[in-house]
Amino acid sequence: MVDRKTFQLSRKAIALVLAGGRGSRLHELTDRRAKPAVHFGGKFRIIDFALSNCVNSQLRRVGVVTQYKSHSLLRHLQRGWSFLHGEVNEFVDLLPAQQRIDEESWYRGTADAVYQNIDILETYTPSPEYVVILAGDHVYKMNYGIMLVDHVESGAECTVACIEVPRKEASGFGIVAVDDSGMITDFIEKPADPPAMPGNPEMSLCSMGVYVFNAKYLYAELARDIADETSNHDFGKDIIPRAVANRCAVAHSFSRSCVVAPDEPVREHYWRDAGTIDAYWDSNIDLTGTVPALNLYDSNWPVWTYQQQLPPAKFVHNHLDRRGTAIESTVSGGCIVSGEVNRSLLFSSCRVHSYARVNLSVMLPNTSVGSRARLSRCVVDSDCHIPPNMVVGEDPDDDARRFRYTENGITLITKKMLERLT
């Protein structure tokens, strides 16, 4: 829950969700959509988690900065996030790239994306005193209000949310070093050999891409950065390292603001960058477990989204050799299952036909698996129709020839890939 002090500070802040990323490591899964618009968890989009954190934290003035293939993202936001009340100064503003620098200049980096919208931020009433910068492509539950209070009480100009990550997995993140007071003493963006935490050689302290700035400081730094022709105009590469060098930045431990249900044992502080096919498959399949690491059933911290009005999932036929079943699986509305589904996640309006088998697979909306087809360890993009008798996931060479096959043995299937086979 949000206390009075947190609520008051949240009303003085605005959140900017950076949702313009292409997500190239997801390959064909982002051919038609930006990474934040990628489906996740059976009924959500990835961006829903950052936006839900804002709403549940009472941070209800939100701008979403978009750029790459944003149509499906904008459509989702318009349909699912228009419930805030503008008459009490609550909103989700859509901020597509508008080439304010010149007619050929799209957003050149995350810092430039914010800079090009400063004129809009300055029109909001009351003028924001704090700006919360969020990545729109991470999955987690976090009370930003707690981080905002910590930021104000620290007296710092900038606060960086940090999480402990296994060192072998940390090369894709900004690595943070802190002193005893929490001041950040060093920041290295995506090092090939991430330094370990003091006293813990297996872990590194990583930036989550969640920042709180004093608004006046941020605007001044962005103006200085945009004039620097050598800059990448990026928070991780330019703005944060400069704040660290000037001893203006402090760290906020995710353990303080990670949201856990009241009766839920803390097994881990859940935060995922589902930025590769392997990571995307793994984080979705994890939700099918009896006690998944991410709790989507906490009514105190709901994850909001747009959802179609669909009938309940249905399992049909009751014969010994023909029975629709789903074991340790997540099955969404509008699905009809007459085959076998095991440890899989089915998004809305999927079909699994008679005698078909789906094992350890993620099926995005409006997909179907034909009779006697078999899928194992697959991610099936939306609107795909797996032909009867097709087998995927049992012959790596055959899978790699027809589809995208990852180093961890996950097969991505898209509509275009299937069309090439006909």
What is the model's pLDDT at position 196?
86
Give CATH 3.90.550.10 domain extents, the chain.
Answer: 1-287
What is the model's pLDDT at position 104?
52
Instruction: For residue 157, say whether it is annotated as part of any ligand binding site.
Output: no
What is the model's pLDDT at position 300?
92
> Class assignment of domain 1-287?
alpha beta
**Angle, vertex CA 225, rays to CA 222 and CA 227, nearest 5:** 115
What is the model's pLDDT at position 24?
83
C-alpha to C-alpha distances, 30 to 22, 27, 70, 349, nearest whole angstrom: 7, 6, 11, 21
Q: What is the DSSP secondary structure assignment for residue 131, as one 8-state letter?
A: E
Handedness of CA 269, 270, 274, 278 (dihedral sign): positive
What is the model's pLDDT at position 102?
58
What is the model's pLDDT at position 100?
58
Instruction: For residue 174, say whether it is annotated as part of any ligand binding site.
Output: yes
Report the alpha-carbon distance of residue 261 to residue 271 in Å, rounded. 15
What is the model's pLDDT at position 32?
87
Q: What is the CATH number of domain 314-421?
A: 2.160.10.10
What is the model's pLDDT at position 13?
96
Say if strands 39-40 and 44-45 run parallel, antiparallel, or are unpaired.
antiparallel
Q: pLDDT per residue over 93-102, tens digit each?
A: 999 876 555 5
Please say whether the beta carbons of 53 and 141 come within 8 A: yes
What is the model's pLDDT at position 199?
81
Please report which residue ranges of 129-233 form alpha helices under DSSP H: 144-154, 215-226
Per the structure block, which two tokens stand in for 53?
């954190």
Give CATH 2.160.10.10 domain extents, the chain.
Answer: 314-421
What is the model's pLDDT at position 127?
93
Say if strands 61-66 and 91-96 run parallel, antiparallel, or are unpaired.
parallel
CA 367 distance to own-chain centroid: 23
Instruction: For residue 124, say whether it is annotated as part of any ligand binding site.
Output: no
Q: pLDDT per residue over 248-271, tens digit each?
A: 999 999 999 999 887 777 677 899
Report the alpha-carbon distance of residue 201 to residue 204 in Å, rounded. 8
Say if strands 318-319 and 322-323 run parallel, antiparallel, or are unpaired.
antiparallel
How crowded is the C-beta side of 259, counted as CA atoms within 13 Å? 27
- What pTM was computed for the model? 0.94
| pLDDT beneath 50, residues of the chain | none
Give all strands of the β-sheet with 330-331 in edge-to-edge order.
Answer: 330-331, 345-346, 362-363, 378-380, 411-413, 404-405
Report the alpha-carbon distance of residue 11 to residue 129 in Å, rounded. 9
What's the CA dihedral at 142, 143, 147, 152 to 10 degrees? Answer: 160
Please say whether the beta carbons of 120 and 100 come within 8 A: no
Instruction: For residue 107, say whether it is annotated as part of any ligand binding site.
Output: yes
